[in-house]
Homo-oligomer: A and B are copies of this chain.
């Protein structure tokens, strides 16, 4: 099997890059003395998750219960569902737990604690470390009340967790390091307040790929969650968390036409194939809907996907420069802005090792 046996668009995974990305994160966490609980929402793939948990505790993080089911069916037994619980998901979580899967949940409010009363559900309190979305502030006067409400409701206070989503907007390694320390301080301080009130708080969980990559110390933290590091993407490259040549994911596409007078090459990868994510639009180097490479994965200088319709991509030179010759039928690879969003449309990875030979096809959980 090689690229000539595929219909485009197809999702290509460069195994050596992924393996190096995972090895680098493992080395960083070994240095910090911490377990990795990888966020599997990026890959949604058993083979990738197996590499990410190798040498770790085997615990994973998910963003939906569909992911929890997918990985439970493939052997996962310690799963953190890291989106604030909704009442209509409680019975599903309990059902997974009855099947022997230790699913823990998160919340930042007492209403959900009441809705789950008497259910012996392990709960982590979500801490807001950066004003980015959900969570209780570490110094919120209600934090200890919430911890006590969990204990008295019959649930289990498993610990505290936070996610420094704002690290995606940092513009320097120094800023990411400062954000990692801010993330650490928030949960460690929240855990301290809960423990001072006589509550058990065994888990102190942090994580985002940027902060996990550059954190210098994580004293008081017990585990790190990170997801996109397995593949990386242009947004991560744009904030110096990886190099372009570390990006393991790309979309294989075919040239289907040209509009010569405009300098356009049309390909069969539009926003369904690439996603609508324009995460680099707010970065110094806007990569459009993705950076264009040849079929072997080598970037073509300053060629980007300028526009995308549902199944059409329009390639053009970043600043109107000369386009290379790309006859109809030419195979190209597009590096994505955001690996999680791009991978979401596919049900399998075409796994390669630096060439066009497909060494394996790995199933992934498609869609929602």
Q: Which chain B residues lie closer than 8 Å to A4 at the CB level?
A: 88
Q: Does A209 contact B (CB under 8 A)?
A: no
A268: nearest residue on chain B (CB-CB)? Answer: B86
- Would A86 and B256 count as touching, CB distance under 8 A? yes
Q: Which chain B residues lie closer than 8 Å to A366 at the CB level?
A: 366-368
Q: Are A314 and B276 CB-contacts (below 8 A) given A268-B83, A327-B111, A346-B367?
A: no
Q: Does A115 contact B (CB under 8 A)?
A: yes
Q: Which of A311-368 contact B (CB under 8 A)?
A: 311-312, 314, 327-329, 340-341, 344-347, 366-368
- Would B310 and A266 count as touching, CB distance under 8 A? no
A83: nearest residue on chain B (CB-CB)? Answer: B311
- Would A311 and B254 count as touching, CB distance under 8 A? no
Q: Which chain B residues lie closer than 8 Å to A109 at the CB level?
A: 257-258, 328
Q: Are A86 and B329 CB-contacts (below 8 A) given A65-B7, A107-B257, A367-B366?
A: yes
Q: Are A368 and B272 CB-contacts (below 8 A) given A111-B328, A133-B266?
A: yes
- Would A7 and B268 count as touching, CB distance under 8 A? no
- Would B84 and A257 count as touching, CB distance under 8 A? yes
- Would A83 and B368 count as touching, CB distance under 8 A? no
Q: Which of A64-123 contact B (CB under 8 A)?
A: 64-65, 83-89, 92, 107-109, 111-112, 115
Q: Which chain B residues lie closer than 8 Å to A89 at the CB level?
A: 7-8
Q: Does A290 contact B (CB under 8 A)?
A: no
Q: Which chain B residues lie closer than 8 Å to A266 at the CB level?
A: 84, 133-134
* Chain B proximity of A153: nearest CB distance (Å): 14
Q: Does A63 contact B (CB under 8 A)?
A: yes
CA distance A314 to B165 in the complex (A): 14
A258: nearest residue on chain B (CB-CB)? Answer: B109
* Chain B proximity of A274: nearest CB distance (Å): 10
- Would B257 and A108 count as touching, CB distance under 8 A? yes
Counted per complex, copies of this chain come to 2
Q: Does A181 contact B (CB under 8 A)?
A: no
B-contact bits for A126-155, CB 8 A (1 contact / 0 none): 001001011000000000000000000000
CA distance A83 to B346 in the complex (A): 19
User: In the complex, which of the residues B128, B256, B272 contacts A344, with contact meaning CB atoms closer than 8 Å?
Assistant: B272
**Looking at A9, A85, A346, A367, which has the most chain B CB atoms within 10 Å of its CB?**
A367
Q: Are A368 and B345 CB-contacts (below 8 A) given A257-B107, A276-B277, A310-B63?
A: yes
User: In the complex, which of the residues B6, B133, B268, B310 contacts A309, with contact meaning CB atoms closer than 8 Å?
Assistant: B133
CA distance A368 to B254 in the complex (A): 16
User: In the complex, which of the residues B9, B87, B367 contacts A345, with contact meaning CB atoms closer than 8 Å?
Assistant: B367
CB-defined A-B contacts under 8 Å, sample of 29: A4-B88, A7-B89, A41-B311, A83-B311, A84-B256, A84-B266, A84-B268, A85-B256, A88-B254, A88-B329, A109-B257, A115-B329, A128-B259, A131-B262, A133-B259, A133-B307, A133-B309, A133-B314, A134-B257, A134-B266, A272-B341, A276-B276, A276-B277, A310-B340, A344-B367, A345-B368, A346-B368, A366-B366, A367-B367
What 7 A-B pairs have minimum CB-CB distances, sorted nearest first? A276-B276, A86-B254, A84-B256, A111-B328, A366-B367, A87-B329, A345-B368
Q: Which residues of A contact B (CB under 8 A)?
A: 4, 6-9, 41, 63-65, 83-89, 92, 107-109, 111-112, 115, 128, 131, 133-134, 165, 254-259, 262, 264, 266, 268, 271-273, 275-278, 307, 309-312, 314, 327-329, 340-341, 344-347, 366-368
